[in-house]
Chain A
Amino acid sequence: MSTLEISGLRAEVDGKEILRGIDLTVRSGEVHAVMGPNGAGKSTLSAVVMGRPGYTVTGGSVTLDGVDMLALSTWERAVAGLHLIMQYPTEVPGVALSDVLGEALHYRGRDANGLRDLLRDEADRIGFDHKFLDRPLNVDLSGGEKKRNETLQLAVLRPRIAILDELDSGLDIDALRDCSRRVEELSNDATQPLGVLAITHYSRLLNELRPDHVHILAKGQIVTSGGPELAAVLESDGYAAFVEEEEPAETASSALDDLFRM
C-alpha cells in the first residue's frame, strides 16, 4: 500500500502565488477528486507534484511513502511511482509509443519482453486502435484518442499513484466512459490498487470514476472536503457556495456557466 502525502504545499509561477497551502493524502485504492473553478490552481497542483519546470515551490512537502518527491527530478518521481495524465498530451514527432514505454519499463527495472502483447491487450480494453501503437506519440490523434493513449500508458506502467489532470477535457462521451472506467478498474485492482487524484472542473468524469473523497479547490486552497455527495452539490449549485468572493476577472469568465453545459 502506498501513500501520497501533500502537506502545506505552496507554489508560485512568475512570482505569483498560485498554491497557498494544499493538504491532501491519497492512499492506494482511493479515488480523490479535486474540483474547482478555472484559475483555482488545479493544473498548477498537478504540475508541481510532477515537477514541471517553471514552478517554484515556496513551502510544504510532497512525499510518496515517505520519500521526498520535491527533491527528485520528474523522471525519478515517475519511476518512484507517480504518474501524470496530462490535460494536453504533447505530440512527439518520430517517437513511437512502444519505444517510449519500452524505455519507461527499462528504467523501472521491469522486463519489456511482454510489452507488445500487453500493449495490444490494454489497447483493446479501452478501444484504442492498434495502428496507433507504432505511430509517433500523439501526433495527429484526436482529443479522445490522446486521452485513450494516456490511459493506456497508465495501465501499462502501473504506477502507485496517478494524477489525472482534466482527463475529461477534449473527450467525447464514449472515450470518457472507456478511460474513466479503466482508471476505476485499476483503483479496484486486487493486488495493486491504484491511488487516484483526479483533478477536474466537471463532475461528468465522476460518473464512471467514483470518488471516495471530493475536495473543492479555490484560490489555491482546499476550501471544503467531503464524500461523493459534494460532487452532486456542485452539479446542481455550481461553485458559488464554496467560493467566498470571486475576483472580478474570474466572475466574468464563463467558468461557472460551463458547469451547466454538460
Chain B
Amino acid sequence: MPALLDVQLPSPDTEIWRYSRIEELNLSRYEIGAATPSVANGTEFVTFGADQAGRPTSPDVFADLNAEHMSAATIDVPAGVDVAEPIVLVHTAVDGAAEFPRTTIRLGANARCTVIERFTSAAGAQAFVSPLLSIDAGAGSSLTYLAVNDVDESSWQIGHQLVDAGRDASVSLSTITLGGYYTRVRTEVSSREPGSSIRQVALYFAAGDQMHDFRVIQNHIAPHTSSDLLFKGAVQDTARSVYTGLISIGEDAKGTSANQTNRNLTLSEGAWAESVPNLDIRNNDVRCSHASTVGPIDAEQRYYLESRGLPPVVAERLVVLGFFDEVLAQLPEGDIVNEVRARVASKLSLGGVQ
C-alpha cells in the first residue's frame, strides 16, 4: 500500500485551522488502509463500494483524500420504510493505517431510521482516520444518527459530516467523542427546504494530552426551519478542546429558529477549552440564541454534595456525570448511555481544580 506522501496539508495560519494540531500531522507515517465496517441490523439497506452520485463538494484536503481513497458504505432506506432496529456500523482502525470511511445515508420520503456509527481501534493503534458522513434526509423523513469516537489516544481522526434536511424532515445528530490524540469533526447541517428540524448534541471528554476540535455550521437556507445544538465537553490534565460554531441564516430563511449552546468544564489547572459561537443573520424574522461557558466544577454544587457526606471525588464525579446527563438523555439507546457514562466515570481523575 502506498504512503500518503504528496499531500499539501492546510496551514495552521488559516482561520479554520486556528487552535488545531494540523502542524503536527505527518501523513507519511501511514499507509492507506481499506477497512470495511462491520454491520449489525438492517443489512438489506446497506451496500458497500464507492457511490459517487451527487456528493459532495469537497470542503478541504481531507474530504479530497476521502473521495480518492474511500471505503464506502451506503445506507438507502426507501420511501415510507421504517427500519425498526438501529443499523450499527463499526469501523476498526488498524495500527499504521490511514482509513477513509465514507458513509452515505439516504432516506426516502417519510422513511425512518436510526444509524449508529462507531469508530474504534486496537489499543495502542496509531492510525489516521478521516471519515466523511453524508446524510440526505428526504421529505418528511426522520433520521436519528449517533457517532461514537473511541479510537486510541495516539490516533488521529479528522472527519466531516454533511447533512441535508429535506422538507419537514427531522434529523437528530449525536456525537460522543472520547478518543483520539487529535479528533476534529467539521459538521455542516443545511436546511434547504421548508419545515425541517435538526437537533444536534455532543459529549466530548479529552484527558491526558488529547485534543477535541469541533467546527459546526447550522446553515439555514429555506424559510421556517429550526436547528438546535447542545455541545457539552470536559477537559482534564493538559487536554484541550475547541468549539467553533456558526449559525448562518440566509436572506430567504424567514421564520427560522436556531439555537446553539456550548458548555465546557475544565477539570484541571493545565486543561484548556475554547468556545467560539458565531451568528450570521441576514433577515429579521428569526428567533436565535447562543450561549457558551467555560469553567471549573461549580463549587456550590460540590459543597452541597460534600455536606451530605460524599467525599470530594465522589461529589465531583456526580457533578460531571450530571453535567453530561443533559446530552446522554438524548442519545438513541439506553445501552450506549450506560456505556458512555461508565467510560466517562472511569476516565475521570478528579481532585484537580479547587
A→B interface (CB under 8 Å): 50, 52-53, 73-75, 78-79, 83-84, 86, 89-95, 99-101, 103-104, 107-108, 136-137, 153, 157
- B322 to chain A: closest CB distance in Å? 3
Q: What are the interface flags for B314-347 relative to A under an 8 Å C-beta threshold, 1 for contact and 0 otherwise?
A: 1100110111111000000000000000000000
Q: Are A104 and B318 in contact (CB under 8 A)?
A: no
In the complex, residue of chain A having the shortest beta-carbon distance to the beta carbon of B317: A103
Question: A residues within 8 A CB of B307?
Answer: 50, 74-75, 78, 83-84, 86
- A178 to chain B: closest CB distance in Å? 21
Q: Are A78 and B303 in contact (CB under 8 A)?
A: no
Q: Can you report 15 A-B residue pairs in the complex whose CB atoms are below 8 A from each other?
A: A52-B303, A53-B299, A74-B303, A75-B307, A75-B311, A83-B307, A86-B304, A90-B300, A90-B304, A91-B301, A94-B321, A103-B308, A103-B310, A103-B314, A136-B325
A78 to B304, CA, bound (A): 11
Looking at the complex, which one of B306, B308, B325 makes contact with A93 (CB distance below 8 Å)?
Answer: B325
- A49 to chain B: closest CB distance in Å? 11
Q: Are A101 and B308 in contact (CB under 8 A)?
A: yes
Q: What is the interface size of chain B, counting residues whose CB is below 8 A from a CB of the partner? A: 23
Tell me whether B79 is interfacial, beta carbon within 8 Å: no
- The DSSP consensus for interface residues of chain A is mixed
Question: B residues within 8 A CB of A104?
Answer: 308-310
Looking at the complex, which one of B308, B318, B321 makes contact with A78 (CB distance below 8 Å)?
Answer: B308
A133 to B349, CA, bound (A): 29
Having A95-B318, A157-B308, one finds 8 other A-B pairs with CB under 8 Å, namely A75-B311, A75-B315, A84-B307, A90-B303, A95-B321, A103-B310, A107-B314, A136-B325
Question: B residues within 8 A CB of A78?
Answer: 306-309
Question: A residues within 8 A CB of B303?
Answer: 52-53, 74, 90
Question: A residues within 8 A CB of B304?
Answer: 86, 89-90, 92, 137
Q: Are A92 and B319 in contact (CB under 8 A)?
A: yes
A234 to B325, CA, bound (A): 48
Question: A residues within 8 A CB of B309?
Answer: 75, 78-79, 104, 107-108, 157
- If the complex has contacts A53-B299, A74-B303, A94-B326, are A107 and B318 also in contact, measured as CB distance less than 8 A? no
Question: B residues within 8 A CB of A75?
Answer: 306-312, 315
A53 to B306, CA, bound (A): 11
Question: A residues within 8 A CB of B32?
Answer: none
B→A interface (CB under 8 Å): 299-301, 303-312, 314-315, 318-319, 321-326
A104 to B323, CA, bound (A): 20
A93 to B324, CA, bound (A): 9
A91 to B305, CA, bound (A): 10
A153 to B308, CA, bound (A): 8
In the complex, residue of chain A having the shortest beta-carbon distance to the beta carbon of B304: A90
Looking at the complex, which one of B306, B308, B315, B323 makes contact with A94 (CB distance below 8 Å)?
Answer: B323
Closest 5 CB pairs of A and B: A94-B322, A94-B325, A78-B309, A95-B322, A90-B304
Looking at the complex, which one of A93, A100, A137 makes contact with B326 (CB distance below 8 Å)?
Answer: A93
Question: A residues within 8 A CB of B318?
Answer: 92, 95, 99-100, 103
In the complex, residue of chain A having the shortest beta-carbon distance to the beta carbon of B323: A94
Looking at the complex, which one of B299, B305, B312, B323 makes contact with A100 (CB distance below 8 Å)?
Answer: B305
Q: Are B310 and A92 in contact (CB under 8 A)?
A: no
A73 to B314, CA, bound (A): 14
A73 to B351, CA, bound (A): 14
- A96 to chain B: closest CB distance in Å? 9
Q: Are B306 and A73 in contact (CB under 8 A)?
A: yes
Question: B residues within 8 A CB of A137?
Answer: 304
- B307 to chain A: closest CB distance in Å? 5
A103 to B315, CA, bound (A): 9
In the complex, residue of chain B having the shortest beta-carbon distance to the beta carbon of A79: B309
A74 to B307, CA, bound (A): 6
A14 to B306, CA, bound (A): 23
Interface hub of A53, A83, A89 (most chain B Cβ within 10 A): A53
A209 to B2, CA, bound (A): 82
- B129 to chain A: closest CB distance in Å? 31
- A56 to chain B: closest CB distance in Å? 16
Question: A residues within 8 A CB of B321?
Answer: 94-95
